[in-house]
């Protein structure tokens, strides 16, 4: 079997790249380890930068996003029992879109199905070979049969734990990582959101976030221990802890209800600077992880896809190799800036187990500076709405 581009990983970044390449006449095959139902059950990010929105429009999958997504012109910082709005529209003349990653994935699946895209689910033992030659291939097992798929390029969109990055020799990988000593306990509930815009709350007992998916579906998070036992967290305990970390007037108005999903996510910052190894190129979580505080995970994957799609289209249309050769440098320039912002937001809003009184006061001073300085708010807004590609 032969195709132009094999994409390992059928999440939003792999599907988006497949869609963009298809619209430019480039054949792809997507190999996904999980079932479609599993992929669509994953609860992930919900804040889309303008660049991500534009890319989805370019991929012809933005109609439902514009119809059902919520445009947010700002967000809120909370500390010291007070709420402070960061006005994105005034500061940067931009907004963000609240539209869940699951919905983006649904839209991409629908588009790939409509155009006859080749997506194989429940693929086992996929592995790339001959990556440093001009004739790479992928070996995989599907429906009990072994297959070899020859191609021009292999794109790794299979996440942090996927095979793609691990196929690069360890001596060739330039890796940087920081694990944080806490996680996020998240709850999804069929309740009215706490506010019209997101609330990022810094509290002496830990961080909290009030988010939403739509007018009757809320997503809440609280900082917890990295090794927390989720079975000890009843809904009542969660709601009580969340309310204790929010301004009193917000807490009094929160509508509580049964959780329909509850999970704990670890937090880490990670970059593999080796985003290209011959004809293997990495994108999204396969190459980098950001803590979710800055809402950059899906958006950063989208910018990788932007650079990759441009590079591959130039290769097939004009036989240009310069964008393929420059992909790693272009992507990493933006990756590190987004890593910085996500690390900064995480450091600003969370309580670290071994923080000294001085460090705690510095966090508070930083928050007070932000809400009192238009220059500081402008910098925050510039990063939050998304740096240019």
- 36: exposed, middle or buried (Cβ count in 10 Å: 0-12, 13-18, 19+): middle
The pLDDT value given to residue 54 = 98
Highest CATH level, class, for 180-267+352-385: alpha beta
Set 12, 128, 247, 292: catalytic member: 292
Is it the case that residue 351 has pLDDT exceeding 90? yes
Crossing angle between the packed helical segments 322-349 and 297-318, to the nearest 10 degrees: 180
Catalytically annotated residue among 22, 72, 288, 350? 72
Cα atoms found within 13 Å of the Cα of residue 106, Cβ hemisphere only: 12
Delimit the domains of the chain by residue range.
5-71+96-177+268-346, 180-267+352-385
Q: State the greatest distance between any 2 C-alpha atoms of the chain, in Å, as a whole number.
A: 63
The predicted-structure confidence for 310-337, as pLDDT tens digits, reads as follows: 999 999 999 999 999 999 999 999 999 9
Report pLDDT for 123. 98
Residue 171: burial class (beta carbons within 10 Å; 0-12, 13-18, 19+): exposed
Buried b (16+ CB within 10 A) or exposed e, 232-267: ebeeeebbebbbebbbeebbeebebeebeebebeeb
| pLDDT score, position 200 | 98
From the number of C-beta atoms within 10 Å of its C-beta (0-12, 13-18, 19+), residue 338 rates as buried
* Position 298 confidence tier, pLDDT thresholds 50, 70, 90: very high
**Does the annotation count 369 as an active-site position?**
no
Sign of the C-alpha dihedral computed for residues 73, 270, 311 and 62 taken in this order:
negative
> What integer pLDDT is reported at residue 46 of this predicted model?
86
Spacing of C-alpha 312 from chain mean position: 23
Say what the pLDDT of residue 42 is.
Answer: 83
User: Which residue in the list 22, 203, 296, 306 is annotated as catalytic?
Assistant: 296
Confirm whether 292 is a catalytic residue: yes
Reply yes or no on whether the pLDDT at 228 is more than 80: yes
Based on the residue annotation, tell me whether 296 is a catalytic residue of this protein. Answer: yes
- Residue 43 confidence class, pLDDT cut points 50, 70, 90: confident
Identical fold for domains 5-71+96-177+268-346 and 180-267+352-385, yes or no, is no
Taking CA 189 as the corner, what is the angle to CA 187 and CA 190, rounded to the nearest 5 degrees? 170
pTM of the model: 0.97
Determine whether domain 5-71+96-177+268-346 maps to CATH 3.40.1160.10: no
The share of the chain scoring above pLDDT 70, in percent, equals 100
pLDDT higher than 90, residue 44? no
Give tens-digit pLDDT for 91-133: 999 999 999 999 999 999 999 999 999 999 999 999 999 999 9
Per cent of the chain over pLDDT 90 is 98
Beta strands in the chain (DSSP E): 5-8, 28-31, 47-48, 70-72, 74-79, 82-87, 96-98, 118-120, 124-129, 137-142, 145-150, 153-156, 175-189, 199-201, 208-214, 217-225, 259-272, 276-277, 280-282, 288-289
Q: Which of 99, 109, 180, 200 is catalytic?
A: 200
């Amino acid at each position: 079997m032969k195709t132009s581009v094999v994409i390992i990983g059928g999440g939003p970044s792999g599907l988006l790249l497949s869609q963009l390449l298809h619209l430019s006449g480039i054949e792809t095959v997507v190999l996904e380890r999980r079932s479609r139902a599993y992929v669509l059950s994953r609860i992930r990010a919900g804040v889309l930068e303008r660049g991500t929105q534009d890319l989805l429009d370019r991929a012809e999958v933005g109609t439902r996003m514009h119809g059902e997504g919520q445009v947010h012109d700002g967000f809120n910082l909370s500390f010291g029992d007070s709420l402070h709005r960061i006005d994105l529209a005034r500061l940067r003349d931009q907004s963000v879109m609240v539209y869940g990653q699951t919905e983006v994935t649904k839209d991409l699946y629908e588009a790939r199905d409509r155009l006859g895209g080749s997506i194989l689910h429940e693929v086992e033992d996929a592995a790339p070979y001959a990556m440093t030659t001009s004739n790479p291939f992928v070996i995989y097992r599907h429906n009990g049969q072994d297959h070899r798929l020859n191609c021009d390029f292999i794109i790794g969109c299979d996440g942090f734990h996927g095979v793609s990055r691990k196929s690069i020799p360890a001596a060739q990988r330039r890796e940087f990582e920081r694990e944080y000593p806490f996680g996020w306990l998240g709850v999804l509930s069929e309740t009215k959101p706490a506010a019209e815009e997101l609330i990022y709350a810094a509290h002496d007992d830990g961080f909290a976030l009030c988010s939403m998916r739509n007018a009757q579906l809320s997503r809440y998070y609280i900082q917890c221990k990295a090794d927390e036992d989720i079975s000890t967290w009843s809904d009542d305990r969660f709601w009580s802890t969340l309310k204790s970390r929010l301004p009193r007037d917000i807490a009094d108005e929160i509508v509580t209800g049964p959780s329909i999903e509850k999970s704990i996510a670890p937090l880490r910052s990670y970059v593999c600077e080796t985003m290209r190894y011959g004809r293997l190129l990495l994108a999204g979580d396969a190459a980098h992880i950001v803590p979710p505080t800055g809402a950059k995970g899906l958006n950063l994957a989208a910018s990788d896809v932007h650079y990759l799609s441009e590079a591959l289209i130039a290769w097939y249309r004009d036989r240009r190799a310069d964008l393929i050769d420059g992909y790693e440098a272009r992507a990493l320039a933006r990756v590190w800036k987004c890593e910085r912002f996500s690390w900064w937001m995480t450091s600003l809003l969370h309580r670290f187990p071994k923080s000294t009184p001085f460090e705690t006061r510095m966090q508070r001073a930083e928050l007070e500076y932000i809400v009192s300085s238009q220059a500081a708010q402008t910098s925050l807004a510039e990063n939050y709405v998304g740096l240019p590609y």
